Structure 1
Amino acid sequence: MSVELLVLYYSRTGSTAQLARLIARGIEEVPGAQARIRQVPPVAAVTVTAAPPEPDAGAPYVELADLKACHGLALGSPTRFGNMAAALKFFLDGTGAEWASGALAGKPAVVFTSAASMHGGQESTLLSMALPLWHHGMMVLGLPFTESALSATRTGGTPYGASHWAGSRGDQPISEHEHTLARALGRRLAQTAVALAAAEPLS
């Protein structure tokens, strides 16, 4: 049985989008798993012109149908004062019908982030994204310390999920350890989704 994992993110400078692609690569290293990459559109005040209905570049915008169809979710955002970005929060706030119907209940999920500063709230941002996923009844996975890069990294990478230290100008390349951990997170999500799909459904 083939499972499809939704890799959903918001990115302004491209750093979070790079992590999303690495996680998708890790997903597709697992037999029977494929990734669907989507992004959320930006939000704007009523005095600002709205974004076009399709992005100029990058992944297509997400639709609620993508959530319903997926077998698991990787959710990513840059840090915003130790929290997820408003655009991602706005999208999640609109998933009440999916919560009521249990569309995501029992599905595995992971979270990832990118921050401008080394101690810019990476872990609290990951936790802020996990909260609504728990409310949806998802099984939120982390990165175990059996991943040796988690202990060796001097850039990003946390047990709560993949992360990247992008630098104040967004010019820090993804490090070898960040690269390794992002792919490992994608594989962990995919392996769990494949195992769950082959097992009895959860009640």
Structure 2
Amino acid sequence: MTQVLILYYSRGGATQQLADAIAEGVASAGGEALLRTVNTASDAASERDLEVNTKDLEQCDALILGSPTRFGHMASGLQNFWESTSAQWLSATLADKPGAVFTSSSSLHGGQESTLLSLALPLLHHGMLLVGLPYSEPALHQTDSGGSPYGASHVDHSGKLTDHERQLAVALGKRVASAAQKLMS
């Protein structure tokens, strides 16, 4: 079974909601979602999901990376994790595996697209093949909150995902799992 590592940080739970919807998409494509987080003191995800380790990178067939927006960039805990992966970078552990990104912010102009692009940078450095959301996804045309071709996103107005945000997150998980399956065959 295709294993898709969903590595994310979520302080208030909004990014975790996206991770859960992405995991649903992975499962709908016949994959296994491995939800992991980074170790931080005040982290909603650490109460539920295991802390990521470098073995997770070696064993996964694909990786989807998520973070809340922090001034247009990923959260420092995720950045610290990536800075500890030089050995995996040098050995090409993630090379030629599908990768994707997702984020959440508290406002529509909170820097979602720049965060998605900054999340993609370590994946590119590790040689991953980026998977986005094409405009063939109807919710991408209809959303008035989160979601972009760069990846799934959420604007945290009400504390829960909109229908379109959820549809796009599920679609992203499904696309990544399907891409990994195709690359493995």
Bin of the TM-score, shorter chain as denominator length: over 0.9
Q: 2:101 aligns with which of 73, 95, 111?
A: 111
Identity %: 50
2:173 corresponds to: 186
In the TM superposition, what whole-angstrom CA distance separates every residue of 1:129-165 from its partner, at most 9, and x where no partner exists?
1011101000011100000100100110011000000
**CA drift at 1:173:** 1.8
Aligned AA (1:35): A
Question: What TM-score results when the alignment is normalised by the length of structure 1?
Answer: 0.88
**CA drift at 1:41:** 1.2
Aligned AA (1:80): R
Query: C-alpha root-mean-square deviation of aligned residues, in Å?
Result: 1.3
2:124 corresponds to: 134
Structure that is richer in helix per residue: 2
> Does 2:6 match 1:19?
no
**CA drift at 1:56:** 5.7
Mean alpha-carbon deviation: is it higher for 171-180 or for 120-129?
171-180
Q: 1:41 aligns with which of 39, 48, 67?
A: 39
Q: Is the contact between residue 38 and residue 46 of structure 2 (CA under 8 Å) also seen in structure 1? A: no
Give 5+ residue unaligned stretches, structure 1. 43-50, 199-203
2:80 corresponds to: 90
1:28 corresponds to: 27
Q: Is the contact between residue 14 and residue 159 of structure 2 (CA under 8 Å) also seen in structure 1? A: no
For 2:78 and 2:46, the matched residues in 1 are separated by: 18
Q: Is the contact between residue 7 and residue 36 of structure 2 (CA under 8 Å) also seen in structure 1? A: yes
Q: Is the contact between residue 101 and residue 116 of structure 2 (CA under 8 Å) also seen in structure 1? A: yes
Distance 1:83 1:56, change over 3 A: closer
Give 5+ residue unaligned stretches, structure 2. none
Distance 1:71 1:56, change over 3 A: closer
> Does 2:51 match 1:61?
yes
Greater Rg by CA: 1
Runs of 4+ in structure 1 deviating by more than 4 angstroms, as ranges, are: none
For 2:143 and 2:128, the matched residues in 1 are separated by: 28
Aligned AA (1:60): L
Matched residue pairs, number? 183
Aligned AA (1:11): S
Aligned AA (1:100): L
> Does 2:71 match 1:81?
yes
For 1:172 and 1:190, the matched residues in 2 are separated by: 27
Q: Is the contact between residue 6 and residue 33 of structure 2 (CA under 8 Å) also seen in structure 1? A: yes
For 2:160 and 2:11, the matched residues in 1 are separated by: 16
Aligned AA (2:33): A
SS of the equivalent of 2:28 reads coil
Aligned AA (2:83): D
